[in-house]
Chain A
Amino acid sequence: MIDARGRDRAFHALGLAVLLAALAALGVLLWDVVADGAGRLSWAFVTGYPSRRASNAGLLPALAGSVWLVGLAALLAMPIGVGAAIALEEYGGRGRWARLIEINIANLAGVPSIIYGLLGLGLFVRALRLERTLLAGAATLALLMLPLVILTAREALRAVPLSLREASLALGATKWQTVWHHVLPAALPGLLTGLILAVSRVIGEAAPLIVIGALTYVPFVPDGPLSPFTALPIQIYAWTSRPGTGFRANAAAAILVLLAVLLVTNSLAIWLRDRSSRRRPA
């Protein structure tokens, strides 16, 4: 018979064990990918073109495609997202419309990414006749990023002290002058952090791009927004799905590149957040 105190200690141990097991699983995942892919990782792999022979295949078109996609998507999503956040946060009001938009954004954040793929397919690929281009893919990813950008931008704007706005308004600045010259610069690190977090989420997205019809074999580097493309996660998916250990090693090596890119973007976000919080003591 275990007494209440014993059960308490047992649960303490169980909690710690579950936490450690989850982190151990993460460790096993990373170790597995490194074990499979480290041998394939080389400069030639990163700068090479795809090939039907696994040992010759490289990653350059996928890497370039991902950079293009994410860059374009950020260019599309950032102004719209920040604009929406300013409207809701600075001009806000408690009107029926503001409520509706708020509920809607919260719900959009929970829509599965593959549904955004169907939206992109219907809207950009077919209705606007963009076909399977970078622009169609980037616009789809931009819609996927939008709720996240708006939510984080609102937080960044909310963190700007009210006294800053009042000082500007007291000197006779208009609302927009206050926002443009004082609130936005003060919120910039927070806005960028939010953008980077949204970017690091969509870098790994494969499903919506597959649905809009991104190609899995692209032997060239995209040369503009209307070029066909592939992307890192799609290349990983294509290699993972092929039989043979050679392509699987390629997939693992590509995963290592993807995780390295994510590590860089996430560190950048953390660095920005730390810097801004140090400059403005609570």
Chain B
Amino acid sequence: MIERALWACAALSVLVTVGIVGVLAWDAAAFFRDVSPVAFLTGRTWTPLFRTQSFGVLPIVAGTVLVMAIAMLVAVPAGLVSALYLSEYAPPRVRRMAKPALEVLAGVPTVVYGYFALLFVTPWLRTWIPGLAGFNALGPGLVMGLMILPLVSSLCDDAFSAVPQGLREGAFALGATRLQAATGVVLPAAMSGVSAAVILAISRAIGETMIVAIAAGQQPRFTANPLVPIETMTAYIVQVSLGDVPTGTREYRTIFAVGMLLFGATLALNLCSDWLRRRMAGAPR
């Protein structure tokens, strides 16, 4: 009896997934009865809230990818270098202090990062880049990179720690410096773990909401220019949620179609990352 109740609790997690897919599919299906999926996925104008509606999702996909790419340009190199430093160079005392300090970065609520991006980073960037708009992809992208850095750093650190010490000692015995051992032996051996970290970071960046909702703007635009206002998929969902779009209309259902795209993309990336991590050399589990 109790056992059954316990298993029901565990099964609830599966029901949550079923619920997510069900809720998204229900309204998205109604939306796709009106709008062809092909037009949705290949159209280059996104104006569902205008009088002349157009449902081409590519502009908000482009906005999402643009911010994500900027975030990755910050988070991946910085996360990799700091993880290599922590695992191969740092004395234990520095390591013990730096790891929790980095975790604080990951614990700051994203609405706070949004505030920081809009009211500190963008104004500061504008003193260097005169053409930068008040809402843009650059500021939130950089701040998102800062937010994701600890994730990359800690997963890469795990991957480096899983590399057997004997490999490093072999390299040192041949006269390699720490850098040569790190880049020639440790990094290649940890490659699947590092890729898993990068892919998970991409998934996190695509799903991140508040930073872009606050600081990136609400102008769906099919562009790779980081200096102008754009809109991401998540920011669009926020925009509609805050507006007074009537329930059950076509424009209201767009958020479920966009949500389904977002869920599909992040799920695929998470599965991919998980698979790579399982392959990791000497991984515990």
B178 touches A143 (CB 8 A): no
Q: Are B13 and A210 in contact (CB under 8 A)?
A: no
Known: A80-B9, A115-B262. A4 touches B177 (CB 8 A): yes
The answer to whether B209 touches A101 (Cβ under 8 A) is no
Are A110 and B203 also in contact (CB < 8 A) when A84-B13, A204-B110 are?
Answer: yes
Is there a chain B Cβ closer than 8 Å to A75's Cβ?
no
- Chain B residues in 8 Å Cβ range of A262: 107, 109
B113 / chain A contacts, CB cutoff of 8 Å = 29
Q: How far is the CA of A118 from the CA of B140 in the complex (A)?
A: 23
B119 with A240: CB separation less than 8 A: yes
* B82: Cβ under 8 A from any A Cβ: yes
Give Cα A68–Cα B234 distance, bound, in whole angstroms.
Answer: 26
Q: Does B242 contact A (CB under 8 A)?
A: yes
Indicate which residue in B17, B108, B256 contacts A104 across the interface (CB closer than 8 Å): B17
> A8 contacts B112, CB within 8 Å?
no
Asked whether any CB of chain A lies closer than 8 Å to the CB of B101, the reply is: yes
Q: Is B27 an interface residue (CB 8 A)?
A: yes
CB contacts (< 8 Å) of B209 on chain A: these are 112-114, 206-207
**Are the C-beta atoms of A25 and B115 separated by less than 8 Å?**
no
B206 contact set on A, CB distance < 8 A? 112
In B69-92, which residues have CB < 8 Å from any A CB? 78, 81-82, 84-86, 89-90
Quick check: B14 and A104 within 8 Å, CB to CB?
yes
Tell me which residues from 74 to 110 in chain A have a Cβ below 8 Å from any Cβ of chain B.
Answer: 79-81, 83-84, 86-88, 91, 97-98, 100-101, 104-108, 110
Contact between B114 and A16, CB atoms less than 8 A apart: no
Interface string of B174-217 (1 = CB under 8 A from A): 00011110100000000000000000100110111110011000
Check: B149 CB closer than 8 A to any chain A CB. Answer: yes
Looking at the complex, which one of B8, B109, B273 makes contact with A203 (CB distance below 8 Å)? Answer: B109
A87 is contacted by which of B10, B27, B200 (Cβ under 8 Å)?
A: B10
Say whether B14 contacts A112, CB under 8 Å.
Answer: no
> Which residue of the partner chain, among B11, B207, B259, B271, contacts A101 with CB atoms under 8 Å?
B11
**Could you tell me if A83 and B274 are in contact, using CB atoms closer than 8 angstroms?**
no
Given contacts A22-B146, A101-B10, A236-B112, contact A16 B119 (CB under 8 A): no
Shortest Cβ distance from B259 into chain A, in angstroms?
Answer: 5
Q: Does B255 sit at the interface, judged by CB under 8 A?
A: yes
- Taking a contact as CB atoms closer than 8 A, the residue among A106, A111, A266 that contacts B274 in the complex is A106
Residues on the B chain within 8 Å of A193, using CB: none
| Contact call A108/B118, Cβ cutoff below 8 A | no
Residues of chain A with a CB closer than 8 A to B213's CB: 207, 237
Q: Which of A1-37 contact B (CB under 8 A)?
A: 4-5, 7-8, 11-12, 14-16, 18-19, 21-23, 25-26, 28-29, 32-33, 36
Given A4-B179, A29-B120, A112-B234; A87-B14 close (CB under 8 Å): no
Which residues of B lie under 8 Å from residue A106 when comparing CB positions?
Answer: 274
In the bound complex, how far is the Cα of B11 from the Cα of A84, in angstroms? 8
Residues of the B chain whose Cβ atoms lie less than 8 Å from the Cβ of A15: 81-82, 84-86, 89-90
Chain A residues with Cβ under 8 A from B271's Cβ? 107
A236 B111 Cβ-Cβ under 8 A: yes
Question: Which of chain B's residues 158-179 have a Cβ closer than 8 Å to chain A?
Answer: 177-179
A interface residues, how many (CB within 8 angstroms): 83
B93-108: which residues lie under 8 A (CB-CB) from chain A?
A: 98, 101-102, 104-105, 107-108
Decide yes or no whether A176 CB sits under 8 A from chain B: yes
B210–A207 contact, CB under 8 A? Answer: yes
Contact B101 A110 (CB under 8 A): no
Chain B residues contacting A7 (CB-CB under 8 Å) are 177, 179
Query: Chain B contacts of A195 at CB under 8 A?
Result: none
* Chain B positions within 8 Å of A147 at CB level: 13
Which of A40-48, A159-167, A252-260 lies at the interface with chain B?
A252-260
| CB <8 Å contact, B237 and A237 | no
Does A205 lie at the interface of the complex (its beta carbon under 8 Å from any beta carbon of B)?
yes
**Nearest A-chain residue to B90, judged by Cβ:** A15
**Distance between B241 CB and nearest chain A CB, rounded to angstroms:** 5
Do residues B16 and A87 form an inter-chain contact, with CB atoms below 8 A? no
Q: List 18 A-B contacts (CB under 8 A).
A: A8-B180, A22-B146, A23-B101, A87-B7, A88-B10, A112-B266, A113-B209, A118-B237, A119-B23, A176-B3, A207-B110, A207-B238, A212-B241, A213-B241, A233-B210, A240-B114, A241-B214, A266-B107
Contacts A29-B112, A213-B241, A233-B109 known; list 6 others, CB within 8 Å.
A87-B7, A107-B267, A108-B16, A116-B20, A204-B111, A240-B115
| 6 nearest CB pairs, A to B | A15-B85, A112-B207, A204-B109, A122-B23, A83-B9, A87-B6
Query: Which residues of B line the A interface, CB within 8 A?
Result: 2-3, 5-14, 16-17, 19-20, 22-24, 26-27, 78, 81-82, 84-86, 89-90, 98, 101-102, 104-105, 107-116, 118-120, 146, 149, 177-180, 182, 200, 203-204, 206-210, 213-214, 234, 237-238, 241-242, 247, 255-256, 259, 262-263, 266-267, 270-271, 273-274
